[in-house]
């Protein structure tokens, strides 16, 4: 069991609303990445935060935004929700200073967002 926790676990929103998803990273990890996993697909990279700064972004519009806090926890915000935003949103934490050989991305259980 990893130390990455996400809240809430499930959420139903109406099209056009805004949503905030939260992630508490594993202790000692300074990097948080967010992924969107649509039904039947692999996770798609949204963006990554390293020491409170955005450190790369995937092919997602600006209405997807995020924050990382001094304790390395993170939020994903989505504005003007669309039906296609319905997906499992996964948060992953890692320690970027260690290199892939000495770290891994630990994933939370995800938040299932349904937009109606």
Partner 1 sequence: AQSVTQPDIHITVSEGASLELRCNYSYGATPYLFWYVQSPGQGLQLLLKYFSGDTLVQGIKGFEAEFKRSQSSFNLRKPSVHWSDAAEYFCAVGASDYKLSFGAGTTVTVRA
Binding site for partner 1 (CB under 8 A): 2, 4, 31, 33, 35, 40-45, 48, 55-56, 58, 90, 92, 94, 96, 100-101, 104-110, 112
CB of 109 to partner 1, least distance (A): 4
CB of 8 to partner 1, least distance (A): 14
Which strand (E) or helix (H) includes residue 67?
A: strand 64-68
Least Å from the CB of residue 7 to partner 1: 13
d(CA 34, CA 64): 10
Cβ atoms 71, 53 nearer than 8 A:
no
* Smaller CB separation from partner 1, 9 or 18: 9
Tokens for 89? 């949103």
Dihedral of CA atoms 18, 20, 21, 27 in degrees, nearest 10, equals: 160
Pick between residue 41 and residue 79 the one whose CB is nearest to partner 1: 41
* Comparison of 8 and 15: residue with beta carbon closer to partner 1: 8
**Least distance CB 33 / partner 1 (angstroms):** 7
Interior/surface letters 20-41, b for 16+ CB within 10 angstroms, e for the rest:
ebbbbbbeebbbbbbbbeeeee
Closer to partner 1 by CB, 56 or 61: give it. Answer: 56
């Amino acid at each position: 069991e990893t130390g990455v926790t996400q809240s809430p676990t499930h959420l139903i929103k109406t099209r056009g609303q805004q949503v905030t998803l939260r992630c508490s990273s594993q202790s000692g990890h300074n990097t948080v990445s967010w992924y969107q996993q649509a039904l039947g697909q692999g996770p798609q990279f949204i963006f990554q935060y390293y020491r409170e700064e955005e450190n790369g972004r995937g092919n997602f519009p600006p209405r997807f935004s995020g924050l990382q806090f001094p304790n390395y926890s993170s939020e994903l915000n989505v504005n003007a929700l669309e039906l296609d935003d319905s997906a499992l949103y996964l948060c992953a934490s890692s320690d970027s200073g260690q290199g892939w050989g000495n770290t891994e991305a630990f994933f939370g259980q995800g938040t299932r967002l349904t937009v109606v």
